[in-house]
Amino acid sequence: MALGNVFDIAGSGMSAQSVRLNTTASNLANAQTASSSVDQVYRARHPVFQAIYNKEIDLDASRINSDSEAGVRVMGIVESDAPLERRYEPNHPESDEEGYVFYPNVNVVEEMTDMISASRSFQVNVEVMNAAKQMVQRVLSLGQ
Amino acid sequence: MAISFNNALGIHEDALRFRGQRSAVLANNLANVDTPNYKARDIDFKTALASKLNSSSQSLKLATTSHAHNNATGLLEDGGADLFYRNPEQPSIDGNTVEEHIEHAQFMENSLAFQASFTFLNSKFRGLLTAIKGQ
């Protein structure tokens, strides 16, 4: 039933956006986490989304199959390659021999816009689900 | 005069099913608004209607050996109407062609059309009920 699919699709959108919101929260929380070595320092993480197709054959299908539309999922979470920030802080307990510490490559402004985008997309999915709920409720009252 | 449910309900039953399927396609577009390389899709009502009108006049039908058998024709018969890809007004750099405002507007329009079809269908049932009761 197509209207039942809407709930799955909107639900997958909501969970994908909440993963995105989660990584944003993690990035913002760790924005000031300094470390003494390049390998250990926190790097900004971002999820990569992918459309779900239940059957691989349907990838290029131009016809609706009852279950070819299945929403979105998080394919993976990638760490940012942006350059790290090296600061001279000799009093920092984590500083190396030369007195430098490494700060994460988290861009706070970028994270804030990402957060707004994620929460707006989440809202859209909630609205879609609400509209689908109303449609199903109406169908249930057919003939009354 | 016999009352036929098939004739009485008309196209509204199929229209309602079409609206339901289209809502799933549009919901999928909205869920994939941040997916790289996702191409927004939609179903065209006009082609779905045209294929329905064609199929009811000449295409293959199930054999009806009894007057009680239903003709299994529908707006989205055997699995599908044609999906088409949307042309974006402002293509984005990651290859995604979903434009949220357009999809949102289309979804709302679709659910209003669903309500309209539902109202028509409901009034058909009311009419049948009145005919059955004879009051």
Q: What is the DSSP string of B37-58?
A: T---EEE-HHHHHHHHHHHHHT
Model pLDDT for residues A49-100, shown as the tens digit of each residue: 988 876 544 444 444 454 456 789 899 999 999 889 889 998 988 888 888 9
CA distance B130 to B127: 5
Nearest CA in chain B to A70: B28
Report the pLDDT averaged over residues B89-101.
89
pLDDT > 50? residue B59: no
DSSP state of B21: H
Lowest-confidence pick of A83-87, B30-34, B82-86, B101-105? B82-86
Of A16, A48, A71, nearest to B28 by CB-CB distance is A71
At residue B128 the predicted structure's pLDDT band, cuts being 50, 70 and 90, is confident
Beta carbons of B30 and B96 less than 8 angstroms apart: no
Question: What is residue B66's predicted lDDT score, i.e. its pLDDT?
Answer: 66
Please name the residue that has the structure tokens 């999915």: A125
Of B38, B115, B129, nearest to A51 by CB-CB distance is B38
**Nearest chain B Cα distance for residue A113, angstroms:** 14
C-alpha pair distances (Å), A99 with each of A42, A93, A96, A115, B127: 19, 10, 5, 34, 86
Question: What is residue A2's predicted lDDT score, i.e. its pLDDT?
Answer: 74
> Which tokens belong to A35?
């470390």
Nearest CA in chain B to A64: B80
* CB within 8 Å: B80 and A128: no
At residue A37 the predicted structure's pLDDT band, cuts being 50, 70 and 90, is confident
Q: What are phi and psi of A45, to 5 degrees?
A: -115, 140
